[in-house]
Amino acid sequence: MKEEIAKIKENSMKEINNCKDEKQLNDLKVKYLGKKGELTAVLRGMGNLTPEERPAIGSFVNQVRDELENLIQKKEKEFKRKELEKKLETENIDITEPSKKVQLGSLHPITQIIDEVEEIFLGMGYEIADGPEVEKAIYNFDKLNTPPDHPARDLQDTFYITEDIVLRSQTSPVQARVMENQKPPIKIICPGTVYRSDSVDATHSPVFHQIEGLVVDKNIAMTDLKGTLEMFAKKCLGENTKIRFRPHHFPFTEPSAEADVSCFVCGGKGCKVCKGEGWIELLGCGMVHPNVLKNCGIDPEEYSGFAFGFGVERIAMAKFGIDDMRLLFENDVRFLKQF
Amino acid sequence: MKASIEWLKEYSDIDVDSVTLGDILTMTGSKVETVDQLGNDIKNVIVGKILEIKKHPDADKLVVTKVDVGNEKLQIVTGANNIKVGDIVPIAKDGSELPGGVKIKTGKLRGIDSCGMMCSIGELNLTLADYPEQIEHGIMILDKKLEKDLGKDITEVLNLKEDIIDFEITSNRPDCLSIEGLGRETAVSLNKPFKNPRKNIDELQVEDKEELEGLKVDIVAPDLCYRYIARMVKNVKIAPSPEWMARRLKACGIRSINNIVDITNYVMLEMGQPMHAFDINSIEGKHITVRRAKNGEKITTLDEQERELDENNLVIADDKKAVAIAGVMGGFNSEIEEDTKTVVFESAVFNGGSVRKTAKKVGLRTESSSRFEKGLSAENALRAANRAVELVELLGAGEAVDGKIDVYPTKQKINKIKLDVSKINSLLGTNLSKQEMIDILQKLDIKVENDIAIVPYFRMDLEFVADIAEEIGRFYGYDKLDSTLVKADTTLGIRNKEQTIQKKVKEVLVNSGFSEIYTYGFVSEKDLELSNIKEEIKKYAITIQNPLSDEYKLMRPTTVPSMMQTLAINANKKNQNVKLFDLSRSYKNVKQEVQKGEVPLQEEMLTVGMYGENVDFYTLKGIIENVLEAIHVNHYEIEKETQNTSYHPGRCANIKVGKDIIATLRRSSSRSFRQLYDFQKSLFSGNEYHKACKICKSK
């Protein structure tokens, strides 16, 4: 009987090893291990054995069955793997074909600059303030030390709605409104739309944007203004940016300065953008004029402050390499999506 | 304001080159626009004498000349036909350079060696206006006297080298619209003494008189004329000005006319005080009155244009007529003529605002008016009058009449400012001693007595401690100021709720494929009409008094027309599938605020617009729902809008929160609009963003 079992083992192993697919394997499983299978038949014949023979033969049969089952399992895994490989091969795709991404829109270049500047000043503890664009002349001019016969009030520079109502020609009226309504310390920036009576060309627009900054507190000095703007210039235009102050004149500040930054295109060596000078005029600034403080209800003996303001379009154009201001307001979607 | 270095040197030693000087003055506040170095582009052009002229063997139109240039004789071939033997001409030798970067080298012309070139005035960048005896096409023929200068550099011989700096002068510094003022700035900037060449004028005493040779002066509008000085010269000989004077005028951009007119301009440039000269014979009644013009009064100015005036304009008049528009331009009727014998010099100071308005009204902004409008010193006026008379005598152009008429109703106030050392240091962030401050101020002619800074007459801009601080800052050096950061209590730098919402809304839209647009707040009547918005809203539009054009006449009461135009622009450019949004303001004069001198309603509106494939009502609805979701407005209803005839009645809806409509979704159906802009499908939504914002904020 032992030889019979060994023969079954030998035959079945050979057949299983040679089998070609899963179906054949299943048939073999039935053939040897099924209820009517050859090995099962052998087990049935165990009754004919002597009690002495039974344990040895029994354990031998079990051993053979385990071996067969293991082999079948191994074979099954092999077939499954092969099948998967085959399937995967048919599912192969070209990963270089175009994607199906969601098309993103874009923020306007002016918004991008304003956002960037806002982040820098928010980080320095400034709030963002806002005010009317159709504004009282008194806020746009009078309170800012620009009396009625000042040239800046000419019809050729400012849009008038009535004698008393204008389209603000600067964001400075926001300063005046904030100073009237808030006690120092004041630290604000006010980005916004402003209007001047300039015809449209490559470098002029009757509508443009400014960002104005104002700090009022005790002991605010011009050195603070310089340090603040230096910090701003480095964050906005690059760590190597240098700043220089030139004396200038504005009605609402005294002392006043114009601030130039080292050209962020050529680094100060001189190029087309800075017209060979190495410096780019960035903004006007100064210490808030005592008359302005007084006009807005702040005692110039107790408090001092600084203010600065610059045009957003100029920076956007220089930073993004835009050579015609009109493009910013034409809103051709192909242009907008470049930024 | 242009200034030649040569003239500035009368006031200060200048030991740096012009470009460096420009840089230094820019940093002390006199911003330099340009530095012109005339004649610097002419190199190695010398004086030569033509010794012989022979025909060129191979060319009919060329001649071969021999030229004596002092130490050698050169053979030069030329095509010019205005030369003859013995002529003195400019010679560009081998290796020379001409304006425009032209380099001249020895070469062959039709086989004959030519060792240089004879120059025309054009080639030397000179003009017929300056050398009227020359011809345009031909060689420049120099004065025979220059025979002694053979071989010498032409720029030296003709005095062609001149450095001119053009300054941008700020409106608070009319004193720097003069060489004297700029000379003072130069001296202080270079730390040199200010050489005052007009000391004699400053010390001169001229007797006051009621009448000068029968001439009388009255000011009947003292609110507009602060001082009027008349001085007189007789036995005048009108002639051209000497070369030095014409040259200085030219450097400052003024054409030389004759000695008397040139003197008025020269004094203006030198001292910053505009002058006027009348022929006494044109003053009827020998009586000058400074008065307001009559409404509709006419005057023909020196440029032979007739101008109409009104009672806001000031004139200088005789007993019958206006002879000048005060501070702007003289009258044609009192012009200095060839036969003028007696001249009245006017040196007056007028109200700046009045001159500015008058100049604007008559459309004449002159060298004179642009100075007066900034407010001039009445004290300086006397110096100018005396200087003009001095120049007449210096030029031998006439004889001074003793005495002056000086009507001076409003004496110039001399400002006195406390020298508050600690305030100045705290404003500038410096730590300067009182003495350091006094040292700077004294250089600027600001005397300090008992801690009071006494401002000189020519610095009317200095009124407050802050002004003194600026002067000290300028000459201490803005570049020497430290960079510090504000030392104060910590403040919170955060966006408020509204600003945060705005950021979120933009983010959602950009992530959904929409591009942000920036549009003008203007709208034309036509476009407002085309946009078919409700009549009541159209009425809220605000009219600009002085618009640039009809296109920009109104302030838009809604941003919808701006979006429609932008969609149209993109459609015209054949852009496919366009998705845009606009978050900006509308301006509504709802309750006649503007007429009451109040600020009108200005609300933020979000407008979303799109056209293209796969875009329908539900796309729009989806994006608006996304926006509302992002700002946590979750409870809203959508209702069909059928009342608004502007849009497709079957495809228009309102989004409502309670009773408030916070958004309107619509498809454009306006036929006229579509025809005009020629595109078929567009959708947009005008959203009452501010209302949504309010709801969001209240949560």
ipTM value of the model?
Answer: 0.85
Q: Are A143 and A290 in contact (CB under 8 A)?
A: no
Residue A128 to residue B499, Cβ atoms within 8 A: yes
The first and second tokens of residue B489, run together, are 């209590």
Same fold, B2-33+165-197 and B416-480: yes
Q: Is the pLDDT of residue B675 over 70?
A: no
Three-state DSSP at A313 gives helix
Please count the CA atoms within 13 angstroms of the CA of A145 that sit on its side-chain side. 14
Locate the domains of chain B by residue range: 2-33+165-197, 43-157, 216-407, 416-480, 497-695
Structure tokens that stand for B473 in this block: 């800052």
CA A231 to chain centre: 22
Nearest in space to A328 (alpha carbons), one of B607, B567, B518: B518
Residue with the two structure tokens 């000349």: B65
In chain B, the residue whose alpha carbon lies closest to the alpha carbon of A197 is B548
B684 or A9: which carries more pLDDT confidence? Answer: A9
Q: Do A162 and B597 touch (CB under 8 A)?
A: yes
Which one of A104, A126, A130, A134 makes the best mutation probe of the B interface by having the most chain B beta carbons within 10 Å? A134
End-to-end CA distance of chain B: 61
SS3 content of chain B, % helix, strand, coil (to 5): 30, 25, 40
Q: CB–CB of B455/B442 below 8 Å?
A: no
- Tell me how far apart the alpha carbons of residues B540 and B603 are, in angstroms, rounded to a whole number: 13
* Chain A interface includes B371 (CB < 8 A): no
Residue A262 DSSP SS3: strand
pLDDT at B686 over 90: no
> Class assignment of domain B2-33+165-197?
alpha beta
Asked if B28 is an interface residue toward chain A (Cβ–Cβ < 8 A), one would say: yes
Contact A189, A117 (CB under 8 A): yes
Region A92-101: mean pLDDT is 86
* Residue A105 sits at the chain B interface (C-beta within 8 Å): yes
Element spanning A146, H or E: none
Whether CATH 2.40.50.140 fits B43-157 = yes
pLDDT score, position B597: 92
pTM of the model: 0.83
Residue B669 has pLDDT above 60, yes or no: no
> Which among B447, B17, B432, B3 has a CA at the least distance from the CA of B190?
B17
DSSP string, B466-507: HHHHHHHHHHH-GGGS------S--------HHHHHHHHHHH
Please state, rounded to an integer, the average pLDDT across all residues of chain A: 90
DSSP A97: S
Residue B674: CB atoms within 10 Å: 15
- Determine the pLDDT at residue B677: 41
pLDDT in tens, B481-507: 999 988 877 888 889 888 888 899 899
Asked if B665 and B620 touch (Cβ cutoff 8 Å), the reply is yes
Q: A37-46, B432-441, B561-570: which has the minimum mean pLDDT?
A: A37-46
Comparing C-alpha atoms, which of B343, B329, B177, B200 is closest to residue B268? B177
Q: Is B125 helix (H, G, I), strand (E, B) or coil?
A: coil
Rounded CA-CA distance B177/B370 in Å is 10
> What is the third-level CATH fold of B497-695?
BirA Bifunctional Protein; domain 2 (3.30.930)
| A311 and B CB contact within 8 Å | no
d(C-alpha A97, C-alpha B156), whole Å? 75
Q: How many angstroms separate the CA atoms of B661 and B664, rounded?
A: 7
Q: Which percentage of chain B shows pLDDT scores above 70?
A: 94
pLDDT band at A68 (very low <50, low <70, confident <90, very high): confident
pLDDT at B187 over 90: yes
Task: Identify the weakest region by mean pLDDT among A294-303, B395-404, B475-484, B604-613.
Answer: B604-613
- List chain A residues with CB under 8 Å of B511: 102, 104-105
pLDDT in tens, A101-160: 888 999 999 999 999 999 999 999 999 999 999 999 999 999 999 988 777 777 778 999
pLDDT at B603 (0 to 100): 87
What distance in Å separates the CA atoms of residue B19 and residue B160, rounded to the nearest whole number?
Answer: 18
Longest Cα–Cα distance in chain A: 133
Average pLDDT, chain B: 89
Query: Starting at the edge strand that comes first in sequence, how are the strands of the sheet with B162-168 ordered?
Result: B2-4, B162-168, B31-38
Distance (Å) from the alpha carbon of B607 to chain A's nearest alpha carbon: 14
CATH of range B416-480; options 1.10.3720.10, 3.90.1150.10, 3.30.56.10, 3.40.1050.10: 3.30.56.10
State whether residue B615 sits within 8 Å of chain A by CB.
no
Is pLDDT at B670 greater than 70 in this prediction? no
In chain B, residues with a C-beta closer than 8 Å to the C-beta of A223 are 428-430, 481-484
Q: For residues B476 and B432, is the Cβ–Cβ distance under 8 A? A: yes
Q: Is B31 on the interface with A (CB under 8 A)?
A: yes
Q: Which residue among B171, B485, B595 places its CB closest to the CB of A249? A: B171
pLDDT interval class at A207 (50, 70, 90): very high
* Alpha carbon distance B189, A18 (integer Å): 105
| pLDDT value of position B657 | 80
Q: Is B170 on the interface with A (CB under 8 A)?
A: yes
HSE of B597, CA atoms in CB hemisphere, 13 A:
5
Residues of A in contact with B546 (CB under 8 A): 155, 159-160, 197
Residue type at position A312: V
The pLDDT value given to residue B696: 58
Nearest Cβ partner of A224 from B484, B490, B552?
A: B484
Beta strands in B205-353 (DSSP E): 216-219, 225-234, 276-279, 287-292, 298-300, 306-308, 314-317, 322-325, 329-330, 343-350
Inter-chain CB proximity B516 and A127 less than 8 Å: no
What contacts B333, CB < 8 A, 6 or more positions away?
A: B282, B300, B321, B323
CA–CA distance, B437 with B426 (Å, rounded to integer): 13
CB A105 within 8 A of CB B514: yes
How far is Cα B187 from Cα B15, in angstroms, rounded to an integer?
A: 11
Band of residue B456 on the pLDDT scale cut at 50, 70, 90: very high
Distance, in Å, from the CA atom of B665 to the CA atom of B644, rounded to the nearest integer, reads 11
CATH no. of B216-407 = 3.50.40.10
